[in-house]
Amino acid sequence: MKHIFYYLILVSCALVACKKMDSTYRQFVVTDGIVYPGKASKPVVYAGHNRVKISWLRGADPTLASAKIFWNNYSDSAVVTIPPTGDTISYTINNLPEKSYSFIIKTYDSKGNVSVPVELFGASYGDVYQSSLLGRPVTAGILYPDSVAVKWGGADISNGAYAMQVKYTTISGKEKVKSFPVSDVTSVITDMKRGTLYQYRTVYLPDSLSIDTFYTDYSTSKPFLFSPKPWKIIDFSSQHPGDENLVSNVIDGNPNTRWHAWVGNSQYPHFFTVDMGAQSMITSFMLYRKTGDDRACDTFKMQISTDNITWTDVGTFNFNRLMDDGQSYEIPTHPTARYFKFTGLSGPQSYIVLGDISAYGF
């Protein structure tokens, strides 16, 4: 009886040892004798432009020789050779019409045994997706003496807006394309050639695993708003006492402040002259009354100069002093100037009250 007990112990130990030895291959062997090669491990579909890339981990089965990818309910397929070495298997399916797909992967060993199928889902993108892409708008382009600031509007992030590209001419005259993340509210360019505009487009990735990038068409920027920070008032007709009335208020970028000519000691015409600090091409001016104040001018004249000596008239204009919104005045000849002179010609009072003036160009 004791010998039988020892025999059972030895048999049990042998079985345990066999189980440990065979554990590596247990996933590939079924008890009825059918062999299943190692299936595709952790497969991923990468979306593309009328194509997809499918990748998976090679796994531990050394007998794998090939794989087959099926789609369109098994009506289409591709054979993939599995090399003896390497960690990842990848295959790109090209010329794939735009839609969502179910892909089935089966692996095979050299004897033709087939694995358990693995299903995964993905999509290819094409003209339909491309036509849905919206260009991110520019809300303002501001020209500083040493840089350009581009202020962006909302981006269609839900559809895959990923980045912005700006194409421009550098100071050295070369064309350059610079990318900015879509998270930027304002993007700054420091090497753009003065006197030129830029083009911009929105970059899209249909999903985070996309292998292809989509783009909107390029749009051309509008003329820049000149930053008034380097501007200086170098001449003016008069200003009423008190800081709230300073002529410099008219170039602070804020229509809620005012230039107030001297009451009782001035009369039309009222003028001020601005040195912009750099020579630029001017395309338009924008004039604002002091917010809520109707004592602005009814007519005014604009002049420009490159040297503050010789002046050129660029127009005489009417101004609606009953509205707060800025009123734009185009200068069709787009003259180049460093200085401009505003002259109020007529108004309801002998003095003038004005909110702000701005200039546009490049």
Q: Note whether 315 and 251 are same-domain residues.
A: yes
How far apart, in whole angstroms, are the C-alpha atoms of residue 292 and residue 277?
31
Instruction: With cut-offs at 50, 70 and 90, classify the pLDDT of residue 84.
Output: confident
Burial class (CB in 10 A: 0-12, 13-18, 19+), 54: buried
Domain end marker among 166, 192, 222: 222
Domain end marker among 127, 150, 170: 127
Q: Note whether 71 and 105 are same-domain residues.
A: yes
Instruction: With cut-offs at 50, 70 and 90, classify the pLDDT of residue 25.
Output: very low
84-92: long-range contacts at Cβ-Cβ below 8 A with a sequence spacing of 24 or more? 86/58, 87/57, 87/58, 88/55, 88/56, 88/57, 88/58, 89/40, 89/55, 89/56, 89/57, 89/58, 90/53, 90/54, 90/55, 91/53, 91/54, 91/55, 91/67, 92/48, 92/51, 92/52, 92/53, 92/54
132: amino acid identity, one letter? S
285 is a domain residue: yes
177 is a domain residue: yes
Question: Residue 37: is its pLDDT beyond 80?
Answer: yes
Q: Note whether 121 and 139 are same-domain residues.
A: no
Helix (H) or strand (E) holding 17: helix 2-22
Least confident of 33-37, 221-225, 229-233, 263-267: 33-37
Percent of the chain residues topping a pLDDT of 90:
87
Question: Residue 197: is its pLDDT beyond 80?
Answer: yes
Residue 55 near residue 64, CB atoms below 8 Å: no
- For residue 32, what pLDDT is reported? 56
Residue 48 maps to which CATH number?
2.60.40.10
Question: Residue 152's closest CA among 219, 88, 86?
Answer: 219
How far apart, in whole angstroms, are the C-alpha atoms of residue 358 and residue 351?
21
Burial class (CB in 10 A: 0-12, 13-18, 19+), 319: buried
9 is a domain residue: no
Mean pLDDT of the chain: 92
For the segment 250-264, what is each residue's pLDDT rounded down to a tens digit? Answer: 999 999 999 999 999
Q: Note whether 136 and 58 are same-domain residues.
A: no
What six digits make up the tokens of 167? Answer: 């194409």
- For residue 27, what pLDDT is reported? 52
Q: Note whether 347 and 247 are same-domain residues.
A: yes
Count of domains forming the chain: 3
At residue 7, the 3 state secondary structure works out as helix
Q: Note whether 266 and 333 are same-domain residues.
A: yes
How far apart, in whole angstroms, are the C-alpha atoms of residue 175 and residue 223?
19
- For residue 19, what pLDDT is reported? 46
Residue 331 is given by DSSP the state -
Stated pTM of the model: 0.81
93 is a domain residue: yes
Instruction: With cut-offs at 50, 70 and 90, classify the pLDDT of residue 31.
Output: low
Domain end marker among 127, 149, 174: 127
What six digits make up the tokens of 209? Answer: 């695993």
Burial class (CB in 10 A: 0-12, 13-18, 19+), 149: middle
Mean pLDDT of 336-361: 98
Residue 54 near residue 94, CB atoms below 8 Å: no
Mean pLDDT of 70-74: 97
144 is a domain residue: yes
At residue 131, the 3 state secondary structure works out as helix
Residue 211 near residue 47, CB atoms below 8 Å: yes
Instruction: With cut-offs at 50, 70 and 90, classify the pLDDT of residue 7.
Output: very low
217 is a domain residue: yes
- For residue 105, what pLDDT is reported? 98
Residue 221 is given by DSSP the state P
- For residue 263, what pLDDT is reported? 97
3 is a domain residue: no
27-34: long-range contacts at Cβ-Cβ below 8 A with a sequence spacing of 24 or more? 28/61, 28/63, 34/113
Task: Identify which has the larger pLDDT, 59 or 276.
Answer: 276
Residue 248 maps to which CATH number?
2.60.120.260
Mean pLDDT of 119-130: 97
Residue 267 is given by DSSP the state -
- For residue 8, what pLDDT is reported? 37
- For residue 145, what pLDDT is reported? 87
Domain interval for residue 202: 132-222
Angle 194-199-204 from CA coordinates, rounded to 5° = 145
Q: Note whether 112 and 142 are same-domain residues.
A: no
Question: Residue 24: is its pLDDT beyond 50?
Answer: no
Q: Note whether 143 and 120 are same-domain residues.
A: no
Mean pLDDT of 330-343: 97
Q: Note whether 241 and 357 are same-domain residues.
A: yes
Instruction: With cut-offs at 50, 70 and 90, classify the pLDDT of residue 21.
Output: very low
12 is a domain residue: no
Q: Note whether 35 and 115 are same-domain residues.
A: yes
Q: What number of CA atoms fall less than 13 Å from residue 286's CA on the CB side?
A: 18
Q: Note whether 161 and 63 are same-domain residues.
A: no
Question: Residue 9: is its pLDDT beyond 60?
Answer: no
For the segment 280-325, what is each residue's pLDDT rounded down to a tens digit? Answer: 999 999 999 999 999 999 999 999 999 999 999 999 999 999 999 9
Least confident of 10-14, 216-220, 224-228: 10-14
54-59: long-range contacts at Cβ-Cβ below 8 A with a sequence spacing of 24 or more? 54/90, 54/91, 54/92, 54/93, 54/103, 54/105, 54/120, 54/122, 55/88, 55/89, 55/90, 55/91, 56/88, 56/89, 56/105, 56/118, 57/87, 57/88, 57/89, 58/82, 58/86, 58/87, 58/88, 58/89
- For residue 348, what pLDDT is reported? 97
Q: Note whether 301 and 326 are same-domain residues.
A: yes
- For residue 2, what pLDDT is reported? 38
Query: What is the chain's Cα-based Rg?
Result: 37
- For residue 5, what pLDDT is reported? 37
What six digits make up the tokens of 340? Answer: 């401009």
